[in-house]
Amino acid sequence: MTNLFIAYVAAFLLPLMFHSWRVAVIGLGVQGALLGLILAAHHNPWSLSLFCEYANLFVIHALFVPWFLFRSMRGHEMASDFSLIAKNMVQWVGAFLLVALAFIFGSKVSPEDSLESLQVGTAAAAILIGLLVLSNQTHALGQIVGLLTFEGGVTLVELLSPHAMPLPVFLGISLVFVILVLTCGQYLGQLLSMPANGEEAEEKATL
């Protein structure tokens, strides 16, 4: 279990150091797969809810998200020096400090349970790194990666909750995630097609 959490932290930290949008997108898929493995390691009794949860993590998070983002990026040129956070020591140290802070937070809220402390720390780190990427990015794809990293952290908190969601509610949450990804893809295409320094066109619709 500990190794899975370490791998999850690596899955959202390593893309910060690779200057490639493809690595960032693949990182999202890896995070999804690891969330599925974390769920599997919980040894929950088999149920329809659990099956749906596996489908959500392995199919939607791990496969659909990267596939759809790659598809949305088709035909759009990306700068070769794409980076999720600014390429300097201050940002990298900042990212590691955030992760450290997240784990300190985890140990404060669960001082007696080392596993829960690790779980909370990992989720908090994913949320903070997602927000760091969002605050650094002006590129739509980078912002989507930041947002989905944040969402991954939220999903991890959800997995760790002692409260099992009723199936209709869980399906609702999954539906929201799928529509969010589809909407992000739609925006990605529109934002990348927008002229970078174009004149502000007057709104055509006055409705």
Site for another protein, rule CB under 8 A: 109, 127, 131, 134, 140, 143, 147, 150-151, 154, 157-158, 160-166, 168-169, 172-173, 175-176, 179-180, 183-184, 186-187, 190-191, 194-195, 198, 200-207
Cβ-based burial of 3 (10 A; exposed 0-12, middle 13-18, buried ≥19): exposed
Given the complex with another protein, which of 89 and 207 has the nearer CB atom?
207
Least separation in angstroms between CB 134 and another protein: 7
**Least spacing, CB of residue 85 vs another protein, in Å:** 17
CB of 89 to another protein, least distance (A): 27
CB of 204 to another protein, least distance (A): 5
Query: Which is closer to another protein, CB of 24 or CB of 184?
Result: 184
If the CB atoms of residues 77 and 200 are measured against another protein, the closer one turns out to be 200
DSSP secondary structure code for residue 20 in this structure: -
Looking at beta carbons only, is 3 or 193 nearer to another protein? Answer: 193
Which CB, 109 or 115, lies closer to another protein?
109
Residues 6+ apart with CB under 8 A from 117: 103, 106, 107, 109, 110, 111
> Distance of CA 69 to CAs 140, 183, 198, Å?
11, 11, 25
CA distance readout (Å), 30 to 62, 92, 166, 196: 6, 21, 27, 32
Backbone dihedral region of 43: left (phi > 0), alpha (psi from -120 to 50 degrees) or beta? Answer: left
Query: Least separation, in Å, of the C-beta of 172 and another protein?
Result: 4
Q: Which residue has the tokens 């780190």?
A: 125
